[in-house]
């Protein structure tokens, strides 16, 4: 009995394993059908010149993917796409070495543009596994490049070429269909090379750029509910479309050589690691990035010395809501330039006797708040209505109602002086203009010494320096040796106070 039980258990496990393997199989035709449905769901038109089984492979020839949008169209042509059953429930996908692509821009208020491109790949292979409703692509590509062969603007084709090449790249791509489609992906590449050349037909000026980024990596996700029209981005976001992505690199650099009417020039740049992030959904959009230690050098026949600059760190971030709402949503803005240094040759242009401290400069502006969108930012009809309301488009109503604003960090440091600040305020939008209630605290050090030195080298007139000191005396109070502080308050009575003194 004991032996029988072991045999039965083993048989049961084997049956379960075999049934699971069968359940997990995908066929060449299922993968091809998934390709078509994916691009069709995105709003593209997919056609094929022929579909035929050749041995153990389904071969699709002259595949065309055409996408029409209000401002233009694109067409991708794949001469041959091959889906080969590997006999173990997986499918190998390969495609032609070259894939032509064209883009046509036809914006009403902009120039017509036509771009001819091609993707060139060598030994790129995708192995597809899973089920018809849940497919995972494992992709390897020793070398893939995208080349811009021709760029036309209003029919004219200036000399211009661009080529991006990814080396030793790999990644996974998972597509799940369940009341729509969810796609997640990750990738890595040893390096990305860029080559760009161009010329101005009128002046004869030319440029050539060569650059490389090393150690690339990234992830992404895309959710698309069933029945969504991706051509209407505003409606798609409301329906639940979500796009997320991040990208990073270990280091990189580029060089540019060119000619101008004044002679030749060279630009060289190098830097450490960096990253980019992107998010788009009904709750808003966000786009940000940062880069570490970078160096820039320009030599030109028009400048008697090299222009050299170094930056310890840079960062930016923008986040805002995009869908109309009765409730305020989070927003943010970040700009950061840390430890900016320039060469003594540049300092000597305006400070030949070294009167000013040549310490690295820093700028940090970190803002956040609450914004109430007054309309859908991606709604074309709403955008047209706003333009129609204003004779001058620059005077069009704001798309947001600000209900809260915060200065998380303000820092400006240069030439021995430094300004820092924090603050927060809420806004009563029932009044015009909106009434703020809150306070801002500012601290300033080294300002008097800086103005003395600027006056001494002739960059700041004495009467201007005197007026600036009088202004600081009105809005700030001493806080130490060459240090000032100021507390600006916005009160419920509508008054504005500086250090307890009403100024409005």
- Which pLDDT score, from 0 to 100, does residue 379 have? 78
φ, ψ dihedrals at 321, nearest 5°: -75, 155
Query: What 3-state class would DSSP assign to 350?
Result: helix
- Which pLDDT score, from 0 to 100, does residue 389 have? 56
The pair of three-digit structure tokens given for residue 45, joined into one six-digit string: 């038109």
| Angle 315-321-322 from CA coordinates, rounded to 5° | 120
Regions of the chain short of the pLDDT cut 50: 1-23
CA distance 157 to 150: 7
String of b and e for 241-276 (b: at least 16 CB within 10 Å)?
bbbbebbbbebbebebebbbeeeebebbbebebbbb
CA distance 409 to 360: 19
Contacts of 135 (CB under 8 A, 6+ apart): 26, 31, 34, 128, 129, 174, 175
Contact 425, 438 (CB under 8 A): yes
- Which pLDDT score, from 0 to 100, does residue 261 have? 83
Strands (DSSP E) contained in 31-71 are: 45-47, 50-54, 57-69
How many Cβ atoms sit within 10 Å of the Cβ of residue 54?
A: 9
Contact 99, 119 (CB under 8 A): yes
φ, ψ dihedrals at 14, nearest 5°: -65, -40
- Which pLDDT score, from 0 to 100, does residue 3 have? 37
- Which pLDDT score, from 0 to 100, does residue 503 have? 85
CB-count exposure of residue 91 (10 Å: 0-12, 13-18, 19+): buried
CA distance 357 to 360: 9
Q: How many Cα atoms sit within 13 Å of 381 on the Cβ side?
A: 3
Contacts of 200 (CB under 8 A, 6+ apart): 158, 206
The pair of three-digit structure tokens given for residue 407, joined into one six-digit string: 């200065």
- pLDDT tens by residue, 197-225: 998 888 888 999 999 999 999 999 999 99
The pair of three-digit structure tokens given for residue 493, joined into one six-digit string: 């009575």
Contact 110, 132 (CB under 8 A): no
- pLDDT tens by residue, 94-133: 999 999 999 998 766 677 889 999 999 999 999 999 999 9
CA distance 389 to 8: 79
CA distance 337 to 272: 15
CA distance 494 to 501: 14
Element (H, E) at 275: strand 274-281
Question: Structural domain boundaries of the chain?
Answer: 416-504
CA distance 130 to 137: 9
- Which pLDDT score, from 0 to 100, does residue 474 have? 87
**Longest CA pairwise span in the chain (Å):** 108
CA distance 427 to 429: 6
| C-alpha dist (Å) from residue 199 to 155, 202, 257 | 17, 9, 12
- Which pLDDT score, from 0 to 100, does residue 388 have? 57
CA distance 133 to 487: 61
Q: What is the DSSP letter of 130?
A: E
According to DSSP, the residues that pair with 371 across neighbouring strands are: 329, 402
- Which pLDDT score, from 0 to 100, does residue 13 have? 34
Q: What is the DSSP letter of 356?
A: S
Contacts of 493 (CB under 8 A, 6+ apart): none
């Amino acid at each position: 009995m004991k032996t029988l039980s072991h045999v039965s258990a083993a048989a049961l496990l084997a049956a379960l394993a075999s049934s699971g393997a069968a359940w997990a199989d995908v066929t060449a035709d299922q993968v091809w059908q998934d390709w078509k449905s994916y691009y069709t769901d995105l709003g593209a038109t997919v056609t094929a010149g022929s579909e035929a089984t050749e041995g153990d492979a389904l071969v699709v020839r002259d595949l065309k993917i055409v996408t029409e949008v209000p401002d233009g169209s694109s067409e991708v042509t794949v001469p041959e796409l091959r889906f080969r059953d590997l006999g173990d429930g997986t499918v190998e996908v390969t495609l032609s070495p070259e894939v032509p692509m064209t883009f046509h821009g036809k914006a009403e208020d902009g120039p017509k543009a036509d771009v001819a491109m091609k993707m060139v790949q060598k030994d790129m292979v995708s192995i597809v596994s899973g089920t018809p409703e849940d497919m995972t692509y494992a992709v390897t590509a020793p070398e893939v490049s995208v080349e811009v062969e021709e760029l036309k603007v209003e029919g004219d084709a200036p000399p211009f070429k661009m080529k991006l090449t990814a080396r030793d790249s790999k990644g996974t791509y998972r597509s799940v269909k369940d009341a729509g489609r969810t796609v997640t992906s990750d990738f890595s590449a040893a390096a990305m090379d860029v080559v760009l050349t161009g010329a101005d037909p009128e002046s004869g000026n030319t440029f050539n750029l060569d650059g490389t980024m090393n150690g690339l990596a990234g992830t992404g996700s895309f959710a698309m509910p069933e029945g969504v029209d991706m051509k209407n981005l505003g409606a798609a976001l409301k329906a639940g479309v979500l796009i997320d992505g991040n990208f990073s690199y270990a280091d990189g650099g580029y060089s540019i050589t060119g000619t101008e009417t004044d002679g030749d020039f060279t630009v060289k740049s190098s830097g450490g690691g960096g990253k980019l992030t992107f998010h788009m959904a009904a709750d808003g959009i966000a786009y940000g990035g940062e880069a570490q230690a970078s160096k820039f050098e320009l030599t030109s026949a028009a400048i008697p010395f090299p222009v050299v600059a170094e930056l310890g760190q840079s960062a930016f971030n923008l986040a805002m809501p995009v869908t109309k709402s009765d409730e305020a949503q989070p927003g943010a803005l970040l700009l950061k330039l840390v430890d900016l240094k320039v060469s003594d040759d540049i300092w000597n242009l305006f400070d030949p006797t070294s009167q000013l401290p040549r310490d690295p400069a820093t700028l940090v502006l970190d803002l956040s708040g609450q914004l109430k969108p007054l309309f859908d930012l991606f709604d074309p009809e709403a955008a047209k209505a706003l333009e129609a309301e204003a004779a001058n488009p620059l005077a069009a109503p704001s798309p947001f109602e600000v209900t809260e604003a915060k200065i998380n960090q303000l820092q400006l440091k240069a030439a021995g002086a430094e300004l820092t600040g924090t603050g927060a305020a809420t806004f009563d939008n029932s009044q015009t203009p909106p009434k703020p209630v809150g306070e801002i605290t500012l601290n300033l050090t080294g300002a008097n010494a800086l103005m003395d030195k600027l006056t001494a080298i002739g960059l700041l007139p004495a009467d201007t320096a005197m007026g600036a000191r009088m202004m600081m005396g009105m809005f700030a109070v001493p806080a130490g040796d060459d240090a000032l502080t100021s507390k600006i308050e916005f009160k419920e009575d509508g008054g504005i106070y500086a250090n307890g003194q009403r100024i409005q």
